[in-house]
């Protein structure tokens, strides 16, 4: 498979940028598109209703940020406009104006965060499963993805959940939990910090003697792969980072630059495993050939496809990008034994209480029931990891892209 070279594909607006500057991760962040106005200047021929939607999104205080690198992954027409149905554009530009009041579920504007209060051991650390704690290290991302509830969080929530002010109390709280063996640095994006900031966090975690494993979950792989630099890879080795989460969705993300970032990690002698989480998204990757190319592409690069996640109900693009859970099960069936087993991820749904594996059988199973609620909306009733029955909001089969 030939990989896309993002620098060579950069849009007209960045033609004069030298490769050295382009590959500077901070330059990428500084030059990210964050407003409708910037978008209008950069792409004057984009349909006005598209840009207006971005501006409404912006006025509502939701997050929007696209790095030049991500702009270079998109496909363009002859006038220099990116295609609106492009699988990368559909991940980062608002596809609809989010309206909480229209949701058929419980997620209201005051419930933007999905953390259960009883699981929080500090304002930024969640202790859901016995042996691990997840820390929301940053209150922002390198870029935002419209299929993720993080992009929905308003500034009010951002202030309440701001990361580093609560760091020391978080470390102290973990120190008091001797059964916790693993810490996951998640976000926002921990790689939004520079290497000195990352080192401070890793050093504090390694000072807790009962912590065996450290994971770092980042979407730098897609938004800004230059962030995964040599200095950062040296930290992986120094602090024995066990695993890095790689969040990839479409084969167009398998670039020369991503491959180089993977090589930096794998050649660093850090022994850090790379495992993916791929959300299933209508109009982007709900297709057997695309998933085949993606899973095998990641595998051959040295990244283990780990989770294939049904798109959660509380995300901005839910009405447009969610498929039914069963569609994902059908896609998994279509790939089974067609691609290498080691390249097959586990298909899951994620509820407020945790993850659940979707059964291979299309009619579910005794502990995974495809049903309808009183209004005829599809739901799944299932037994969660605690052995309790729970309900998950499915999406209709005929959901329109
Ligand atoms: S998927 Fe990751 S990078 Fe994207 S908005 Fe969510 S937390 Fe941020």
pLDDT digits (tens, 9 = 90+) for 334-361: 999 999 999 999 999 998 888 999 999 9
Which atom of ligand 1 is found nearest the CA of 186? 7
Cβ contacts of residue 76 below 8 Å, gap of 6+? 11, 82, 83
Is the pLDDT reported for residue 31 higher than 50?
A: yes
243/117: higher pLDDT: 243
Give the span between the Cα atoms of 52 and 241, in whole angstroms: 43
pLDDT at res. 100: 55
- CA 140, 145, 148, 154 torsion: positive or negative? positive
Which of 66, 139, 188 for a ligand 1 pocket mutation test, highest count of atoms within 8 Å of Cβ? 188
Q: Which residue do the tokens 């060579």 mark?
A: 8
pTM more than 0.85: yes
In angstroms, the Cα distances linking 251 to 25, 182, 234, 310 are: 22, 31, 28, 18
115/273: higher pLDDT: 273
Percent of the chain with pLDDT over 70: 91
HSE (side-chain half, CA atoms, 13 Å) at 42: 23
391: region left, alpha or beta (phi > 0 left; psi from -120 to 50 alpha): beta
Percent of the chain with pLDDT over 90: 74
Q: Is the CB of 368 under 6 A from ligand 1?
A: no
Is the pLDDT reported for residue 153 higher than 80?
A: no
Q: What distance in angstroms lies between residue 373's CA and the mean position of ligand 1's atoms? A: 30
Is the pLDDT reported for residue 159 higher than 50?
A: no
7/314: higher pLDDT: 7
What average pLDDT score do residues 375-398 get? 92
pLDDT at res. 62: 79
**What tokens appear for 118 in the block?**
């009883």
Q: In 10 A of CB 381, how many CB atoms?
A: 15
pLDDT at res. 157: 41
The C-alpha R_g of the chain, in whole angstroms, comes to: 21
Give the span between the Cα atoms of 378 and 397, in whole angstroms: 9
Spell out a b/e string for 313-327, using b for 16 or more CB atoms within 10 Å of the CB, else e. Answer: bbbbbbbbbbbbbbb
Q: In 10 A of CB 155, how many CB atoms?
A: 11
Per-residue model confidence as pLDDT tens digits over 32-72: 999 999 999 999 999 999 999 899 888 877 788 999 999 99
Looking at every residue in the chain, the average pLDDT score rounds to: 90
Give the span between the Cα atoms of 214 and 208, in whole angstroms: 11
Per-residue model confidence as pLDDT tens digits over 107-151: 544 444 556 788 999 988 999 999 999 998 887 899 999 888 777
Q: What distance in angstroms lies between residue 382's CA and the mean position of ligand 1's atoms? A: 27
pLDDT at res. 99: 59
332: region left, alpha or beta (phi > 0 left; psi from -120 to 50 alpha): alpha
Is the pLDDT reported for residue 399 higher than 70?
A: no
95/366: higher pLDDT: 366
271: region left, alpha or beta (phi > 0 left; psi from -120 to 50 alpha): left
- What DSSP assignment string belongs to 237-291? HHTT--EEEE---SGGG-BHHHHHHHHHHHTTT---EEEEEEEE-TTTT-SHHHH
Q: How many helices (DSSP H) and strands (DSSP E) are in the chain?
A: 15, 13
Q: In 10 A of CB 126, how many CB atoms?
A: 20
Q: What distance in angstroms lies between residue 361's CA and the mean position of ligand 1's atoms? A: 31
Q: Is the CB of 150 under 6 A from ligand 1?
A: yes
Per-residue model confidence as pLDDT tens digits over 78-97: 888 999 999 999 999 987 76
Q: Is the CB of 227 under 6 A from ligand 1?
A: no
pLDDT at res. 161: 42
Which atom of ligand 1 is found nearest the CA of 143? 3
CB 201, CB 232: distance < 8 Å = no
Give the span between the Cα atoms of 127 and 118, in whole angstroms: 9
Domains in the chain: ranges and CATH:
12-101 (no CATH), 109-393 (3.20.20.70)
Per-residue model confidence as pLDDT tens digits over 196-242: 999 999 999 999 999 999 999 999 999 999 999 999 999 999 999 99
pLDDT at res. 318: 80
> In the structure, what pLDDT confidence band is assigned to residue 103 with cuts at 50, 70 and 90?
low
Describe the chain by its helix, strand, coil percentages, rounded to 5: 35, 20, 45
């Amino acid at each position: 498979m030939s990989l896309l070279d993002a620098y060579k594909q950069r849009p007209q607006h960045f033609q004069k940028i030298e490769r050295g500057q382009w590959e500077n991760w901070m330059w990428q962040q500084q030059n990210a598109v964050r407003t409708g106005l910037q978008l209008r200047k950069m792409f004057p021929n984009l349909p006005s209703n598209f840009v207006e939607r971005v501006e409404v999104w912006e006025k509502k205080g939701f997050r929007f940020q696209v790095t030049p690198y991500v702009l270079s992954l998109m496909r363009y027409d002859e006038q220099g406009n990116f295609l609106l149905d492009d699988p990368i554009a559909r991940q980062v530009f608002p596809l609809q104006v989010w309206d909480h009041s229209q949701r058929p579920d419980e997620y209201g504007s005051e419930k933007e965060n999905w953390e259960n209060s009883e699981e929080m051991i500090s304002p930024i650390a969640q202790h859901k499963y016995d042996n691990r704690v997840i820390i929301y290290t940053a209150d922002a991302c390198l870029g935002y993805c419209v299929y993720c509830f993080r992009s929905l969080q308003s500034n009010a929530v951002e202030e309440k959940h701001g990361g580093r002010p609560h760091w020391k109390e978080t470390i102290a709280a973990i120190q008091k939990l001797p059964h916790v063996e693993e810490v996951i640095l998640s976000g926002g994006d921990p790689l939004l910090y520079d290497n000195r900031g990352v080192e401070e966090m890793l050093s504090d975690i390694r000072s807790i003697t009962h912590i065996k494993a450290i994971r770092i979950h980042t979407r730098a792989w897609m938004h800004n792969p230059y962030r995964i630099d040599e200095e950062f890879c040296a930290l992986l080795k120094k602090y024995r980072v066990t695993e890095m989460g790689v969040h990839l969705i479409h084969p167009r993300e398998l670039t020369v630059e991503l491959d180089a970032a993977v090589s930096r990690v794998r050649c660093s002698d850090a022994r850090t495993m790379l495992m993916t989480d791929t959300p299933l998204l209508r109009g982007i990757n709900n297709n057997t050939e695309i998933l085949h190319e993606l899973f095998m592409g990641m595998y051959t690069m040295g990244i283990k496809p780990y989770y294939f996640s049904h798109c959660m109900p509380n995300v901005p693009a839910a009405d447009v990008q969610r498929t039914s859970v069963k569609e994902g099960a059908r896609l998994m069936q279509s790939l089974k034994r067609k691609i290498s087993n080691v390249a097959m991820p586990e298909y899951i749904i994620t509820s407020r209480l945790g993850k659940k594996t979707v059964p291979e059988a299309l009619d579910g199973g005794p502990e995974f029931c495809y049903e309808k609620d009183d209004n005829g909306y599809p739901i799944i009733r299932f037994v969660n990891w605690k052995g309790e029955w729970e309900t998950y909001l499915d999406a209709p089969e005929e959901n329109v892209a």
